[in-house]
């Protein structure tokens, strides 16, 4: 597609991405914008990041940029760092030989799959045509050439974009086994771009969803952020539940989400709707709050078990249960401490907010996590409308924020009595002993 046949302009591309493209081009290498950034510009969406592909090896890219670092074992990539913006540069991928033929592969170019068919190492370089065949979806096999400003479409991606259909390149089951995260990407692209999943894309997912257990937890946490912190959490949750993907990310929730009318399901749905609304209004959101919501019901189940079997006090049971559920969840989707610790404070405050008068109540109101804990309590009352005490407690803290003096009276409105001081009588003098009065 020559320049006059498409809307992509250099004005749509970040200055740092243009620097990378032109330096590669001026150094004698091919240089293309690739994938989502080209797709988004065609759809009228401002890309969040820009990816570059080239025939230069990662080491050659590093030699051109002092601000470059090489990352990745499975895919060797070059990251060119411009402050907060990172331009990812990948070498054209080639077709890999089977493990049995790996001895005949070129030096430093080899691929390796595990027993599930998942690629664990794939540093095989090739041509731009081979690279396009290695892309996951047709809409992502689009290349913008800085040399002639043309778009190269190798898989009819533009046609699929115009039809609103998301298609995979190649056999779906093979592509999912190579990288199970593609199942999550299929959902995310469908909701983000308002596209329908092709039948061949959708049908294998329920059967292959369990392959996500083979993905490193840290990588799945990155996918969790993309799925639920980008303004499409509600749509992603619904589609993931339908395809059996959500249960793979949060296995402890399986028993709590079997019924769409259950308090746990309604609580999650409301939390995702609220998150989408805040993002649409450009308000701050934090993964810690969603972590607290997602693990609340497993936390309650574990807390109750500890109280019944171990006879632990409620707050001790909460703390131990919190450590247990965070640890178990981190085996599937890792939760960094910068998010798990605030989530634990939100849980602890649910107990502390039951005290509605006196110094302890005032300290709870002044706690740095009070607002998040209060929002969490409102969410709980929404999911459990039959719990009248919880509704009254939420109403109390709603009013207490506007009138902190209410904390002096508590829920009943009666003034808090000061504890009486016990009067102490005059001290009795000890009788003097004979030795004290000088008698023998």
- Residues with a catalytic annotation lie at 49, 51, 136
Q: Report phi then psi at 98, rounded to 5.
A: -65, 160
Q: Report phi then psi at 2, rounded to 5.
A: -65, 170
- Cα–Cα distance for residue pair 291/225, rounded to 1 Å: 11
- Cα–Cα distance for residue pair 46/38, rounded to 1 Å: 10
Radius of gyration of the chain, Cα coordinates, nearest whole angstrom: 30
Angle at which helix 337-352 crosses helix 287-294, to 10 degrees, equals: 60
Neighbour count for residue 411 (Cβ, 10 Å): 13
Q: Report phi then psi at 228, rounded to 5.
A: -120, 0
Kindly tell me the sign of the dihedral angle through the C-alpha atoms of 153, 154, 157, 159: positive
- For 343-354, give the secondary structure using H, E and C: HHHHHHHHHHCC
- Cα–Cα distance for residue pair 432/436, rounded to 1 Å: 6
115-to-120, 178, 214, 377 alpha-carbon distances in Å: 10, 11, 11, 46
Query: In which residue are the tokens 């759809």 written?
Result: 43
Query: In which residue are the tokens 């190492």 written?
Result: 121
- Cα–Cα distance for residue pair 58/50, rounded to 1 Å: 17
Q: Report phi then psi at 104, rounded to 5.
A: -90, -5
3-state SS class at 198: coil
Residue 32, strand partner residues: 53, 145
- Cα–Cα distance for residue pair 108/111, rounded to 1 Å: 10
246-to-212, 235, 262, 380, 386 alpha-carbon distances in Å: 10, 12, 16, 21, 28
Residue 91, strand partner residues: 54
- Please choose, from the candidates 303, 354, 294, the residue with its C-alpha nearest in 3D space to the C-alpha of residue 330: 294
First to last CA, the chain: 123
DSSP type of residue 81: E
């Amino acid at each position: 597609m020559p320049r006059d046949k498409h809307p992509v302009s250099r004005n749509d591309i970040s200055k740092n991405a243009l620097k990378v493209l032109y330096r590669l081009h001026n150094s004698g290498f091919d240089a293309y914008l690739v994938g989502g950034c080209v797709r988004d510009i065609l759809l009228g969406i401002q890309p969040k990041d820009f990816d570059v592909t080239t025939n230069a090896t990662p080491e050659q890219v590093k030699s051109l940029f002092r601000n470059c670092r090489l990352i990745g074992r499975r895919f060797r990539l070059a990251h060119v760092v411009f402050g907060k913006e990172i331009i990812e540069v990948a070498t054209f991928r080639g077709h890999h030989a089977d493990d049995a033929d790996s001895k005949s592969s070129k030096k430093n170019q080899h691929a390796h799959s595990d027993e599930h068919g998942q690629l664990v190492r794939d540093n095989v370089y090739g041509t731009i045509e081979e690279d396009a065949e290695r892309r996951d979806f047709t809409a992502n096999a689009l290349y913008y050439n800085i040399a002639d400003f043309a778009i190269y479409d190798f898989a009819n991606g533009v046609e699929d974009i115009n039809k609103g259909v998301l298609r995979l390149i190649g056999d779906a089951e093979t592509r999912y086994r190579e990288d199970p995260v593609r199942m999550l990407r299929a959902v995310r692209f469908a909701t983000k771009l308002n596209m329908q999943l092709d039948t061949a894309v959708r049908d294998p997912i329920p059967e292959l969803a369990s392959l996500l257990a083979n993905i490193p937890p840290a990588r799945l946490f990155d996918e969790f952020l993309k799925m639920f912190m980008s303004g499409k959490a509600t749509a992603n949750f619904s589609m993931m539940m339908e395809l059996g993907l959500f249960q793979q990310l949060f296995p402890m929730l399986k028993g709590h989400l079997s019924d769409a009318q259950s308090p746990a399901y309604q609580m999650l749905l409301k939390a995702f709707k609220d998150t989408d609304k805040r993002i649409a209004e450009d308000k701050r959101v934090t993964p810690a709050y969603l972590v607290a919501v997602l693990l609340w019901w497993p936390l309650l189940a574990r807390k109750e078990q500890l109280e019944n079997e171990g006879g632990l006090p409620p707050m001790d049971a909460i703390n131990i249960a919190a450590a247990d559920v965070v640890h178990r969840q981190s085996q599937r989707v890792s939760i960094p401490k910068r998010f798990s610790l605030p989530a634990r404070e939100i849980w602890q405050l649910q107990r502390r907010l039951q005290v509605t008068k006196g110094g302890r109540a005032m300290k709870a109101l002044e706690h740095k996590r009070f607002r998040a804990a209060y929002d969490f309590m409102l969410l709980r009352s929404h999911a459990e409308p039959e719990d009248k005490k919880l509704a009254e407690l939420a109403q109390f803290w709603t009013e207490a924020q506007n009138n902190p003096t209410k904390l002096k009276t508590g829920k009943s409105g009666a003034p808090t009595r000061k504890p009486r001081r016990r009067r102490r009588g005059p001290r009795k003098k000890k009788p003097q002993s004979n030795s004290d009065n000088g008698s023998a």
